[in-house]
Amino acid sequence: MQLDGSFQVPAPRLLVWEGIRDPALMAACVPGCQSAERITDTSFRAVVTVKFGPISATFNLVLEIEDEVPPTSLAARVKGEEGSRASTVSALSTLRLSEAMDGTQVDWSADVAVAGRLGKYGLGLMRKKIESLSADFTAAFAARLAAEAAKQGAT
């Protein structure tokens, strides 16, 4: 399933880039994220719980950065599975950061595959859930970085 979108962050591009590479900040912004940690400079592990209707699934995820051009672009692959292996998820994502009038424009795309019990839901329902999670993330991420930019006195 191909998804894409964009959002603005009222903060300088370098601050946005640092936020994207900060597992603690990302964990605080990703809905359902219970933990996130850096394994290496380009590899991260996270535990994320997602509720889809009556089903709750906890995924153990590994994110590998495959390509990056700081502070402009990043490509990453995410793979994960439920503890019971009832569902698996994989995604190839790209981010592009550019200067905007009031901060930073973030353009993103993701090719997401879900298999197993969650994969049985229709593509339309799965897309709506992922879009909802994405909207929650972007709002939290933009708010946190806007506060940090204000604290630093930069926009």
Residue 54 above 90 pLDDT?
no
Nearest to 65 by CA among 99, 47, 34, 92: 92
Locate the DSSP E strands across the chain.
2-9, 33-40, 43-52, 55-69, 73-82, 87-100, 103-116
Eight-state DSSP code of residue 13: H
Q: Which residue has the tokens 């595959």?
A: 113
Eight-state DSSP code of residue 83: T
pLDDT tier for residue 155 given thresholds of 50, 70 and 90: very low
User: Considering the entire predicted model, what is its pTM?
Assistant: 0.90
Interval 84-111 mean pLDDT: 94
Nearest to 107 by CA among 117, 98, 118: 98
Report the mean per-residue pLDDT for the chain: 92
- Give CA–CA dist 90/11, Å, rounded: 30
Q: CB neighbours of 41 closer than 8 A, spacing ≥ 6?
A: none
- Give CA–CA dist 23/29, Å, rounded: 10
Residue 121 above 80 pLDDT?
no
Residue 84 above 80 pLDDT?
no
Residue 85 above 90 pLDDT?
no
Residue 63 above 90 pLDDT?
yes
pLDDT tier for residue 118 given thresholds of 50, 70 and 90: confident
Q: What are the structure tokens assigned to 35, written together?
A: 């933990």
- Candidate from 3-17, 51-65, 72-86, 119-133 with smallest mean pLDDT: 119-133
Q: Between the CA atoms of 4, 10, 14 and 15, what dihedral angle is there, to the nearest 10 degrees?
A: -100
Residue 100 above 90 pLDDT?
yes
- Candidate from 5-19, 39-53, 73-87, 122-136 with smallest mean pLDDT: 122-136
In the prediction, which pLDDT does 154 show? Answer: 53
CA distances from 73 to 7, 108, 132 (A): 15, 10, 24
In the prediction, which pLDDT does 123 show? Answer: 73
Is the CA virtual torsion 40, 6, 118, 67 positive or negative?
Answer: negative
